[in-house]
Structure 1
Amino acid sequence: MVAGPAGAARGSLRDLAYDALRRRILDAELKPGARLVERDLAAELAVSRIPLREALRRLEADGLVLLVPHRGALVSPFTPADVRDLFDVRESLESLAARLAAERAEAEELARLAARLKAARTAIAAEDRGGIAAANAGFHTDIVELAHNPLLSNMMRPLEARTHWLFRLTAQRDPAQQCAEHEEMYEAIAAGDGDRAAALAHAHVVDGRAESLALAEQWAHPVIDPQRVAASRRRRA
């Protein structure tokens, strides 16, 4: 069934709300654990609650929002345990992706990785933390795509937003070091050296684990009760 004008309009409003909230979460404007008040968000984004709720469900699927039944929504707490679990998965799957990319990527596809490296260097020079995070997350996403393994892509896709979020929340890590490690990975992939690409990808993820977990302790709530947070009322001044 083809959506009529009303359905199309609602879909565009849903996408608008999704894109706006996703950006605000990934840019850490909305902090982990922050309550999302539907009434206030609908007014800010100039959308009704129906497309807003659809957007929130999409963000929940991305792992960025937690919906508490009959209570409300909040930005996912993204605890140190969540960060640890993300690293556990990335260590295995990203090294596989790098190996396959080295074996399967076409020469012209490597230009995408080179462009990400250039964007990262430009962002570092401008001290643009958001740009650095976007370029670094995009570099990892491109490697998965260059692996040409649909099953792997489907497994990694739900992690993309959380990986971008991680890069943004840990933007104070040494960006020059991360860029240098990405350049080594690029060289191994471009050379078709699967073993080296996999080893470098694994080492790259492992290298960021301890510092990222330490930073996660700084933004995480010591104790968080989603039911209580979602049910809380924010008073207007």
Structure 2
Amino acid sequence: MTGAGATGELESVRVTRILRDDIVVGRRVPGSRLVERDIAAELDVSRLPVREAIRTLVSEGVVVARPRSWAVVREFTQRDIRDFAEVRESIETLIFVFAAERHDAAGIARLRDVYERELAAARAGRPEEARMAAGEFHEVAAVLAGNDMLCELIDVFATRLRWLFGQHDDLLAMAEEHRIILEAIAARDVEALRRIVPEHLASGQLAAESRLASSEIAI
């Protein structure tokens, strides 16, 4: 059984969170090996929670398990990005539309707080913090949508969504897109959201494809 740390958080949960964040923000690059004993030593835990964390990240689609070898951080392809974009456009447009229709004042305040943290981090040159807040913006919108099944669906690709935000270099532009979406949600402007959400998602797809193309050229 995996023990709990000083904060009461299960070690496997803590290790998963640390590795997930490392992958999302690029501290562990695509193709890099995840060696259980090395990670266990680095995080001062046994190998069991590391093994459990790697299993979780495999299920989230950001780590690949290779039989009789090391697990590695997934190397996404242009096809992966396009497939992801096709799935998330319909789901996320629906999420933002429902959020506009169903939010309350507390929900909008929460979404605005996330946006303001994203903007502040982008302005201050803190890219990791800005990208994490950008992912959280979408997660909070899913909660405001008030549909448990949609929340379950977005949970399936939440980590890949956060990885996608990690490909953005123009963090101020991304924050500005979120500001426009936020104002449309607050105004309950469903028609505007049906137009601007796909444009926002296409921007993220383009950023990921451009980053991947650049890395392929560098190789």
Whether TM exceeds 0.5 here: the answer is yes
Q: 1:13 corresponds to which residue?
A: 11
SS in 1 for 2:65: strand
Match for residue 176 of structure 2 among 153, 166, 180: 180
How far did residue 208 of structure 1 move? Answer: 3.1
Q: Give the CA RMSD over aligned residues.
A: 2.1
> Larger RCO: Structure 1 or Structure 2 (Cα < 8 Å, ≥ 6 residues apart)?
1
Deviation track 1:184-212 (CA, whole Å, cap 9, x = no partner) reads 11111111122222221111112332332
Residues 77 and 221 of structure 1 are in contact (CA less than 8 Å); yes or no, is this contact kept in structure 2? no
**Distance in 1 (alpha carbons) for counterparts of 2:117 and 2:136:** 10
Q: Work out whether residues 62 and 159 of structure 1, in 8 Å CA contact, stay in contact via their aligned partners in 2.
A: yes
The CA deviation string for residues 5-52 of structure 1, in whole angstroms up to 9 with x for no partner, is x55449822123212211211221100111111221122122222221
Judge conservation of contact 2:2–2:11 (CA < 8 Å) in 1: no
Q: Does 1:127 align with 2:125?
A: yes
Task: Flag structure 2 segments of 5+ consecutive residues without an equivalent.
Answer: none
Confirm or deny: 8 A CA contact 2:165 2:204 kept in the other structure.
Answer: no
Query: How many percent identity over aligned positions?
Result: 34
1:211 aligns with 2:218: no
- Residue number in structure 2 paired with 1:192: 188
Q: Which residue of the partner structure matches residue 26 of structure 1?
A: 24
Identify the residue that residue 161 of structure 1 maps to in structure 2.
159
Instruction: Determine the C-alpha separation between the residues in 1 that align with 2:218 and 2:59.
Output: 25
Which AA in structure 2 matches 1:62?
E
Looking at structure 2, the residues matched to 167 and 208 of structure 1 have their Cα atoms a distance apart, in angstroms, of: 7
Taking a change above 3 Å as real, the CA distance of residues 139 and 9 of structure 1, as seen in their structure-2 partners, is closer
Q: Is 1:171 matched up with 2:168?
A: yes
Kept in 2: contact 1:98–1:147 (CA 8 A): yes
Is the Cα contact below 8 Å between 2:2 and 2:49 reproduced in 1?
A: no
Normalising to structure 1: TM-score of the pair? Answer: 0.84
Tell me which structure has the larger Cα radius of gyration.
1
TM-score (norm 2): 0.90
> Equivalents in 2 of 1:71, 1:222: separation in Å?
26
Partners of 1:49 and 1:149 in 2: CA distance = 38
Partner of residue 234, structure 1? none
Q: Secondary structure at the match of 2:10?
A: helix
- Corresponding position of 1:40: 38
Structure 2 vs 1, CA of residues 9 and 110 (structure 1 numbering), >3 Å: closer, same or farther? closer
2:58 alignment partner in structure 1: 60
Alpha-carbon distance, 1:135 to partner:
1.4
Give the unaligned 5+ runs of structure 1: 1-5, 224-237
Q: Judge conservation of contact 2:32–2:73 (CA < 8 Å) in 1.
A: yes
Change (3 A) 1:197 1:61: same
Match of 1:105 among 82, 103, 106: 103
Q: Distance in 1 between matches of 2:20 and 2:206?
A: 26
Q: Quick one: which of 94, 99, 104 aligns to 1:96?
A: 94
The verdict on how the C-alpha distance between 1:50 and 1:102 changes in structure 2, with shifts beyond 3 A counting, is same
Aligned residues: 216
